[in-house]
Amino acid sequence: MNKLYLLIPVLCFTFFISGCSSGLDTPDTIVSPPVTTPVSDTDALTTVNVKTYMVDASATAETVALFYNLKKLAKTKFAIGQQDAFNAFYNNGSSSLSDIKKTTGNDPALLGSDFMFITDKNNTGQNDNWFYQQEKKITDDAKQAYAKGMINVFCWHLREPIKEESFYANDMSAAEKATAFKSILPGGSKHDWYKLKLDKIASVISNLKGSNGELIPIIFRPFHEFDGNWFWWGADYCSPEDYKTGFQFTVNYLKNSKGLHNVLYAFSPDNTYLTSTNYLSRYPGDAFVDVLGMDNYGDFNNQGQAGSDRANTKLKMVSDLAKSKVKIAALTETGYQVTTTNTPISGWFSNYLYNALTANNVEISFVMFWNNTRDGYYVPTPSVPNAPDFTSFTSKPKSVLVNILPKMYVLPN
């Protein structure tokens, strides 16, 4: 095993412990012309016209149903999920049960996964290869989640195209940061490299099938948290037009060139955007987005009620945009990691988070917690002090785990 092979798992392990975003509540600095977006009645969505609001007019029946049911769910409830729920555990690496099920008795309603290891340059496709083993584990988990009636959501921590060693901008030179994203766009020096990565994703998605051979729908979040500066696709390293081009190409390539019709596409910045004008400054367009998301750790990082209210204001903005555009709204990542140095916050789940997700007529379809590890957790296990707080959160009227999740893959009559 060479030195580089060893380096990559270390980088990934550090990432998964620390969470996805920087955790900072950074100021709103991106400016674009004003956008006025009236809020419409989401009852405009029907089982007959649902495809007209989706990215893919040729979406499979199950994917159409997922869009419709998620959109309707938000009117009364929100689904609760966790990244790597079946394979990332707090202080218990041998269990086959999700930590959410250990604590509440039920699995989450969503499973978060990542294409990171699947598209890694060291993935040989051989059974004895560690990265391929992760690919098998991830795809098996996605199939298991679907069989349980859960929803699959994939992010992608794509390593930079120069050395393929990291997705963090801080690990790159100034010249690499300035050219990396542009290089993967059509006409760029790494465009063919990027298409090969998408080919791998397409191969995996097209082989995710249920027990009857049907394609399993997924929600895909390419280039997430792009308003920050921690990833090489961040706002400091590509223009709004370049970002839109990259997002649009990704969708068109998977949908049209590769013929994938079991994907919903999510637009998910971090929490810096305070207005719809700025939120839409890098928006690729309604024809390329099914889910309007937001990742937010910073407002929940021991910020009390003030942080909860800030998060709610931002989610209200996203929710209103989703209503007007007839799209799905979601808190695509969040959490507060408890470790030996970060103690639990009283009422974090049942008070602060629940308030952010429900106050002011917010309509959010789902919330995704980041993954647990041996040394820290975002979702409590039964023996930790804030387990009752989490149980209370999942028992509230608008909270949904898999046990009360509606049938998401069948359109209602």
> Could you read off the pLDDT of 40-84 as tens digits, one per residue?
444 799 999 999 999 999 999 999 999 999 999 999 999 999 999
Contacts of 87 (CB under 8 A, 6+ apart): 137, 141
Tokens read off for 204 = 């995996």
Q: What are the respective helix, strand and coil percentages of the chain, to the nearest 5?
A: 40, 10, 45
Indicate if the alpha-carbon torsion angle 87, 221, 228, 238 is positive or negative.
positive
Relative orientation angle of helices 191-206 and 174-184, to the nearest 10 degrees: 60
Q: What is the pLDDT of residue 6?
A: 35
Residue 103: CA atoms inside 13 Å, Cβ hemisphere, count?
Answer: 27
The amino acid sitting at 73 is: L
In degrees, rounded to 5, the angle at the alpha carbon of residue 273 between the alpha carbons of residues 223 and 117 is 20
What six digits make up the tokens of 71?
A: 């959109």
* Positions marked active-site: 225, 333
Which of 166, 233, 169 is closest to 12 using CA atoms?
Answer: 166
CB 279 within 8 A of CB 296: no
Alpha helices by DSSP H, 148-206? 174-184, 191-206
Nearest to 331 by CA among 349, 304, 305: 349
Residue pair 102/302 in contact (Cβ under 8 Å)? The answer is: no
Which residue is listed with tokens 């820290």?
376
Residues for the chain: how many in total? 413
Place of tokens 């719809």: 276
SS3 state at 352: helix
Q: What is the pLDDT of residue 317?
A: 98
Torsion of CA 174, 179, 181, 184, to 10 degrees: -140
Q: What is the largest CA-CA distance in the chain?
A: 57
Taking alpha carbons only, the member of 296, 118, 323, 101 closest to residue 205 is 118
**Mean predicted lDDT score pLDDT of the chain:** 92
For residue 93, what pLDDT is reported? 59
CA 46 to CA 39: how far, in whole Å? Answer: 17
Rounded to whole angstroms, the Cα distance separating 221 from 223 reads 7
Burial 7-28 (b: 16+ CB within 10 A, else e): ebeebbeebbbebbbbbebeee
Residue among 45, 5, 108 nearest 335 (CA) = 108
Backbone torsion region of residue 259, taken as left when φ is above 0, otherwise alpha when ψ lies between -120 and 50, otherwise beta? left
Nearest to 20, CA basis, from 246, 331, 318 = 331
With the CA atoms of 306, 309, 313 and 315 taken in that order, what torsion angle do they form, in degrees rounded to the nearest 10? 120
Assign 83 to helix, strand or coil. strand
Write down the pLDDT at residue 22.
47
Q: pLDDT under 50 in the chain at which residues?
A: 1-17, 22-42
pLDDT at 413: 87
Residue that the structure tokens 């988990």 belong to = 141
Structure letter (DSSP) for residue 231: B
User: How big is the chain by its Cα radius of gyration, in Å?
Assistant: 20
Sign of CA dihedral 63, 333, 111, 201: positive
